[in-house]
Amino acid sequence: MTKEQFLNELGKALSPLSHTEREKSLAYYSELIDDRMENGMTEEQAVSGLETPSEIAAGILDDATESASPQPKKPVSLALLILGAPLWIPLLIAAASVLFSLYITYWSLIISFVAVGISFALTSVACLLSFAVMLTENTPHAITALGVSLFFGGISVLLYFPIKSAIVFSASFTKRSCLYLIGKLTGKDDCKL
Amino acid sequence: MDIQLKRGFIEICVLSSMLGEDSYGYKLIRDVSPYIEISESTLYPILKRLESAGYVSVYSAEHNGRLRKYYSISNSGRGKIADFLSEWESIMKVYNYIREEYNNDKRTVSE
């Protein structure tokens, strides 16, 4: 094969490439053949010592497609996701709304317990005051008031600790869930909670 | 030699042969061949990669009435060689240790 024949065949095999890339490849091999001849080989030897034009072209085209398309995502799953959007988006919104209302209900329960605790405590204080006031005037009533005061005071103290733990736990749980969700959405930068 | 290892080696070898002076395709193959197997079609994508990574710069100059493409190593190319050498210094330490232990073992076996 002559140099011209070699380059012609190579050029044809490289037709999928852009004009610039094809010219670059041809220039590279043309220069190589010339240098080999300059260093003592005949034209025949210079050409035959190389791989065949089809082998060379296959290698170049492989290399070109490797760098051109880095792992395209399967288009099918993306299409399904978009087509199904009218279905899963409302469902997602509904689910999120249910969760959110459950969450609010939970906090409302806590708040009502706090309200009960506070009102018991206030009742206790009020009864204590009336005990103090009635002590001299009407001792039996005063003692009753003291008893009631102690009763309500005791209940509110009993309620205080569990309610406080519940609030602390709920607050930290809320914080951790928010951080987790944010981390998931922004790409898991730090999973440590 | 493992093919991925070989690829990395050929790239560094090609880069290194440009250290003394700018080189061109045919000369690169001739200089590197004694040390590692390299063909014309292997060299071509390597030169493309080196150029796009900025490790070499390319220019054309006239030679005997035709244009020849010359490759010149850049500073980041030199840096890549330096990285390779320092990485391999630690590898060589391990190799020397293994070699010495192995040689000691052969001696005690033959005694």
DSSP secondary structure, A141-167, as one string: HHHHHHHHHHHHHHHHHHHHHHHHHHH
Does the structure show a pLDDT above 70 at A74?
no
**Residue A187, phi-psi category: left (phi > 0), alpha (psi -120 to 50), beta (remainder):** left
Show the tokens assigned to A144. Answer: 């009753």
Q: Could you give the CA distance from residue B24 to residue A66 in angstroms, rounded to a whole number?
A: 25
Percent over 70 (pLDDT), chain B = 96
Nearest to A146 by CA among A132, A159, A156: A132
pLDDT value of residue A71: 59
How many angstroms away from the CA of A66 is the closest CA of chain B?
11
Local confidence band at B8 (pLDDT 50, 70, 90 cut-offs): confident
B26 close to A (CB below 8 A): yes
Radius of gyration from C-alpha coordinates of chain A: 42
Is A29 close to B40, i.e. CB distance below 8 A?
A: yes
The answer to whether the complex's ipTM is over 0.90 is no
Q: Could you give the CA distance from residue B19 to residue A179 in angstroms, rounded to a whole number?
A: 53
Local confidence band at A193 (pLDDT 50, 70, 90 cut-offs): very low
Local confidence band at B33 (pLDDT 50, 70, 90 cut-offs): very high
Is A60 close to B66, i.e. CB distance below 8 A?
A: no
Q: Mean pLDDT, to the nearest integer, of A77-95?
A: 86
pLDDT value of residue B110: 59
What's the pTM?
0.56
Who's near A50: CB < 8 A, 6+ residues apart? A6, A29, A32, A33, A56, B40, B41
Does the structure show a pLDDT above 80 at A13?
yes
Local confidence band at A70 (pLDDT 50, 70, 90 cut-offs): low
Is B44 close to A60, i.e. CB distance below 8 A?
A: yes
Show the tokens assigned to B97. Answer: 């240790």
Q: Could you give the CA distance from residue A133 to residue B100 in angstroms, rounded to a whole number?
A: 99
| A34 contact residues in B (CB cutoff 8 A) | 66
Nearest to A117 by CA among A71, A163, A149: A163
Q: What is the pLDDT of residues A132-167, one digit of tens each?
A: 888 878 788 888 888 888 998 898 888 888 888 888
What DSSP line would sit under B56-80, residue for residue?
EEEEEEEETTEEEEEEEE-HHHHHH
Q: Could you give the CA distance from residue A89 to residue A82 in angstroms, rounded to a whole number?
A: 10
Instruction: State the CB neighbour count (10 A cutoff) for residue A14.
Output: 21
Q: Could you give the CA distance from residue A3 to residue A44 in angstroms, rounded to a whole number?
A: 8
Q: Could you give the CA distance from residue A49 to residue A132 in angstroms, rounded to a whole number?
A: 116
Mean pLDDT over all residues of chain B? Answer: 91
Is B44 close to A28, i.e. CB distance below 8 A?
A: yes
Does the structure show a pLDDT above 80 at A191?
no
Q: How many residues does chain B have?
A: 111
Nearest to A36 among B26, B41, B66 (CB): B26
How many angstroms away from the CA of A75 is the closest CA of chain B?
30
pLDDT value of residue A78: 81
Is A31 close to B69, i.e. CB distance below 8 A?
A: yes
Give the N- to C-terminal CA distance of chain B in Å, as an integer: 34
Show the tokens assigned to A10. Answer: 């190579």
The residue in chain A having the minimum alpha-carbon distance to the alpha carbon of residue B43 is A28
**Residues 27-46 (A) with a CB less than 8 A from some CB of B:** 27-29, 31-32, 34-36, 38-39
CA angle B95, B17, B93 (to 5 degrees): 10
